[in-house]
Amino acid sequence: MYANGTMIEPPLLKWLPFLKWAKHYDRATFVADGIAALVITIMLIPQSLAYALLAGLPPQLGLYASLLPLVAYALLGSSGPLSVGPFAITSIMTAAALGATFPGPFTSQHIAGAAMLAFMSGSFLLAFGIFRLGFLTNFISFPVVTGFISASAIVIASSQLGNLLGVDTNTSSFFDVITSIIEHIHQTHIETLLLGLCSIAFLYSVPKVIRAITLKLTSSTLVADSLSRTAPVLAMLVAILAVVVLDLEARNVVLLGDIPRGLPQLSLPDWQQLTWDFNTWKSLVSSALLISIIGFVSSLSAAQAFAAKQRQRINPNQEALSLGVANISSGLSGAFPVAASLSRSAVNFNAGAKTPATSAFTAIGMAISCLFLTPYLYYLPVVTLAAMILLAVLTLFDFNAMLRTWEFNRQDFSALLITMVLTLVNGVEWGLVSGVLLSIVLHLYRSSHPHVAVLGRVPSTEHFRNIDRHDVITDPQIVSFRVDSSLYFANARFLEDRVNELVASHPKAKHLILMCSAINDIDASALESLYDINQYLKDADMQLHLSEVKGPILDRIKRSDFLDQMTGNLYLSHYLAWKDLTS
């Protein structure tokens, strides 16, 4: 279908993207997707268990969160490499939300609350997609996201120190965890600590060794990278073997224990398990909203990054829909909120994933794991999963981005730093909210003090430049200046003050020309300021002139009687205004 020479996508293909790529699905694509799915399944099995632990939930919920959500994304998503499932940031946010909503020992309310969070997060994401509200995520600036994710990495790492040392911290706040660790350091379980350190060393070194050996034998980067990703599974096998051979269960090393075998039963979240009061639902709703926003921002960023490499286009609203259905299906599975993992997506991309069918194949692999693998995970030490989490979050702490922000803009760095500090002090939710509010305040401050340049003519040209930066020609009877910003209520007063300052510093001036080439929008407050400026200049025996006004701005101004009251003229170019007033 075409309209005005542009192809219009049928609604069914728009809402169900799999119908588009399924028509051209061939054997080569199937093989590529199947190999990538095998790699991701091997990677996702330990990650799903670890991130369930991170969320403070039973390990089987991590497996359940890696089933239907992946199928949902395969049907509705548009990015082949994107790997949806348990994600470190949303897991720690889930733990923080459940801890704040249901303080105290773990109960069935935590499981019901996690499923409700997934269901609510999915509903918010569906709303983002259906009502095209994805633009709301634009209010989260890069410095805020960097500060939030980096602080979350610290919070995640600190939350695993208790498991690494074999002590019970019973806290979720970063500083409380550190204080608790210091107080209980003398209770460190030596066997657990040694096993944890060995796991960290194994997970750090073995992938490098496997990659180096494979490269020497095959010279294939793809094969080397794929085989190196099996290190977490090897770490699980070695840890289980160590537990059995050394009888570490008798030495009080905490094990994963019994994991229910089979697939999840689909049902709505168990509302009856939750306390029916306003504070509980307020906490769950606000947490779900924040989880959906962060999950969407991180997932969309990853999807767009890989789409650029493949010269494809990602529809943000469709991604919101697919993630929404994925989270709702996670809630129906009794699991917790999911999002796209950048690290898994990068592996998926490098492994050769071509279409979202990779997610469906990965779900099949995870289903087989649920049916046949869980009995063998009984002897898996919890500290090995903690070691996986610790190494995984190292990539989330982006020191280079912090350094670049510091060198580029100190105000942005202050937003980054404050977001980090508040996330560490008050938790991930308040840290994110504070960072967003700070970004908005900084934006309003900057836009309320726009750059203003007094202009002069470049000799022998029709161009005008800043008198502070260039050797230009000026005229004592003319004040030319340019505002490099749209005009609205926040900077309207600033514009008036700047004009007053210019008039006071140019006593011989008879004309003031406002170059409007950088003004892309104007509101009623700014228009009133123009009225006041025009009257002020009239009282000072000066004329106000406008040059290079953009069409949409001029159309809006013409709806008022400002041009009739303006003491000067309207010019197509600044040079014509200069030439007319100096002749």
> Distance of CA 239 to CAs 39, 227, 257, 273, 431, Å?
21, 19, 14, 36, 36
437 and 462 co-located in one domain: no
State the CATH number of the domain containing residue 489: 3.30.750.24
The residue segments making up the domain with residue 481 are 452-582
Domain-ending residue, one of 442, 468, 503: 442
In a domain, 12, yes or no: no
Among 383, 409, 442, the domain-final residue is 442
Cα–Cα distance for residue pair 261/259, rounded to 1 Å: 6
Q: How confident is the model at residue 1 (pLDDT cuts 50, 70, 90)?
A: very low
Q: Per the domain annotation, does 349 fall within a domain?
A: yes
Task: Please check whether residues 346 and 478 belong to one and the same domain.
Answer: no
Asked whether residue 399 falls in the same domain as residue 456, the answer is no
Instruction: For 133-186, write each residue's pLDDT tens digit.
Output: 767 666 777 888 888 888 888 888 888 899 999 988 766 678 888 888 888 899
Contact 261, 367 (CB under 8 A): no
Separation in Å, CA 407 to CA 144, 145, 173, 555: 16, 18, 31, 41
**Structural domain count of the chain:** 2
Nearest to 361 by CA among 22, 38, 76, 87: 38
One domain for residues 418 and 506? no
Quick one: 149 exposed, middle or buried, by C-beta within 10 A (0-12, 13-18, 19+)? buried
Please indicate, yes or no, whether residues 344 and 235 belong to a single structural domain of this protein.
yes
Residue-wise pLDDT for 198-252, tens only, equals 999 999 999 999 999 999 988 888 788 878 878 888 999 999 999 999 999 999 9
On whether residue 573 sits in a domain, the answer given is yes
Give the tens place of pLDDT for each residue, 434-449: 887 888 888 888 889 9
Q: Would you say residue 9 lies in a domain?
A: no
429 and 530, same structural domain? no
Structure tokens at 395: 């990539």
Residue 286 lies in a domain: yes
CB atoms within 10 A of CB 183: 11
* Pair 407, 270 in one domain: yes
- Among the residues of 373-523, which ranges form H helices? 382-393, 399-408, 410-426, 428-448, 489-505
Q: pLDDT, tens digit, for every residue of 405-463?
A: 999 988 888 888 988 998 888 877 777 778 878 888 888 888 899 999 999 999 999 99
Residues 316 and 182 in one domain: yes
Regarding whether 100 and 236 lie in a shared domain, the answer is yes
φ/ψ of 103, rounded to 5, equals -65, 150
Q: Which helix (H) or strand (E) holds 480?
A: strand 478-483
Rounded Cα distance between 496 and 328, Å, is 52
Strands (E), 148-297: none
The burial class, CB within 10 Å (0-12 / 13-18 / 19+), for 459 is exposed
* 17 is a domain residue: no
- Contact between residue 73 and residue 87 where contact means Cβ atoms under 8 Å apart: no
Residues 114, 198 share a domain: yes
Shared domain for 388 and 436, answered yes or no, is yes
As given in the structure block, the two tokens for residue 225 are 């990278």
What does pTM read for this prediction?
A: 0.80
Do 409 and 546 lie in a common domain? no
Q: Which of 419, 442, 465 is the last residue of a domain?
A: 442
- Is 114 part of any domain? yes
In a domain, 10, yes or no: no
Which residue would you say has higher pLDDT here, 494 or 102? 494
